[in-house]
Amino acid sequence: MTILKALFPWGPVFFGLGFLAPLIAALMINLTITAPFGLTELQTGLIVGGTWGLVAKFGGRWI
Amino acid sequence: MSGAEALGPTELDKEEERRLYREEMAIARKYIGPFPVVMALWCFSNLLCWFALWPLVIFDVIPLWAGFLIATANVALCYLPSHEAQHSNYANPGTPLRWLNELIGYVSTIPLVLPFKIARYTHMRHHKHTNDPKLDPDYEVIAPTWQQAVFKTIRRMQPGFPNSYGQVLTDNADDPAAKRAGLEGMVQSLTYWGILCTLAWSGYALEAAFLWWMPRLLGNIYISLFLSWWPHHPMKEMGRYRNTRSFSHKFGNLVAFGMEDHIIHHLHPGMPLNRNKAAFRELRPILEARRCRLEDH
């Protein structure tokens, strides 16, 4: 329970990496969007999802 | 006293008050009794439909966009059967069908990921303290227009916005029922996120997003708008006969999920949703005598 309480505030980051990253990658593949800078779709997803999660965690909102 | 205010026991003649109350209860009793078959069927057919979408979409029987539209409807529709269970309208504690009541409460809102015990705990407080800015857990939905209510609901979904249901549980941390509700809620939420992430990393990210994640967000907005904002707007008055209103929605009562007669639900929570309209018609003269907020013209 203590661990969960400590991890809970980082939920947006976990969500960004755990769900948004593969979702972004799947959307890129589906829409045939080429990843920039020679990255793979999944690497792009991890960068975008992780950054977005950090913004949500510290900014308090996703949008 | 203005004509728009409700007539309570102090304003009404005592004898008139007693007569109105007796008549109201006599009518209400007719609609409260029988087992709400419609609501139980609603629960299981809606849930079955939502579960069926997964193989249908994954095996390309139906396109993802169609699955998304149906799933969004499923999520929006899944709350109301559980709502009946929150009020023990399928079976009271200690009766043979109590298990069914609790089962419906738990499973109906799987698509919405609304933990049953949290829903029941907070909803009872909503009934007890309707429109009380401090004590009504649904008061956060207050907004001057429905469009602003939608934007507010989106804002309430953001991680930095205080969670009013979580606050109720925190405020009642000594209550074992609140503790249990919180624990169940945490398990259900973690399970949801776990399933979503597992699906996403297993190659089903689009299915997870468009059959569950997005429909849940949209369903939440719809439910919040039609079940919380519309029937209680402008949320200024408290008291049995004035805290909820009847209204006419331009797209009809089906689109409004039967909430046009939500005033009946607040007066008689034991009456299933599908009988509210008929009860409203019969109770109307009494509600008019009480100067309830009948804004359905």
Cα distance between residue B116 and residue B159, in whole Å: 22
Give Cα separations from B230 to B114, B225, B246, B249 (angstroms): 21, 6, 9, 9
User: Does A26 fall in a domain?
Assistant: yes
> Residue B62 is encoded by which pair of tokens?
């139906």
Does A25 contact B at CB distance below 8 Å? yes
Rounded to 5°, angle at Cα B109 from B39 and B132:
90
Chain A residues within 8 A of B201 when measuring between CB atoms: 18, 22
**Amino acid B8: pLDDT:** 58
Nearest CB to A26; choose among B193, B196, B205: B205
The total number of structural domains that make up chain A = 1
User: Is a pLDDT exceeding 80 seen at residue B10?
Assistant: no
Give contacts of A62 with chain B, Cβ < 8 Å.
158-159
Complex ipTM > 0.85:
yes
User: How many angstroms separate the CA atoms of B266 and B228, rounded?
Assistant: 12
Give the pLDDT confidence score for residue A6 in this predicted structure.
Answer: 87
The answer as to whether A5 is a domain residue is: no
* pLDDT reading at A1 higher than 80: no
The band of B48, judged by pLDDT with boundaries at 50, 70 and 90, is: very high
Contact indicator for B208, B200 with CB cutoff of 8 Å: yes
**What are A5-36's pLDDT values in tens digits?**
888 889 999 999 999 999 999 999 999 999 99
CA of B244, closest CA in chain A: separation in Å?
A: 32
Beta bridge partners of B293: B245
Contact B285, B270 (CB under 8 A): no
Overall average pLDDT of the B58-83 stretch: 98
Asked whether residue A53 is assigned to any structural domain, the reply reads yes
Q: Lowest-pLDDT range, B12-16, B266-270, B281-285?
A: B12-16
* Boundaries of every domain in chain B: 1-32+237-297, 33-208
Residue A28 domain-assigned?
A: yes
Q: Which domain holds residue A43?
A: 10-59
Q: Are A23 and B209 in contact (CB under 8 A)?
A: yes
Is residue A3 a part of any domain in this protein? no
Nearest to B159 among A27, A30, A61 (CB): A61
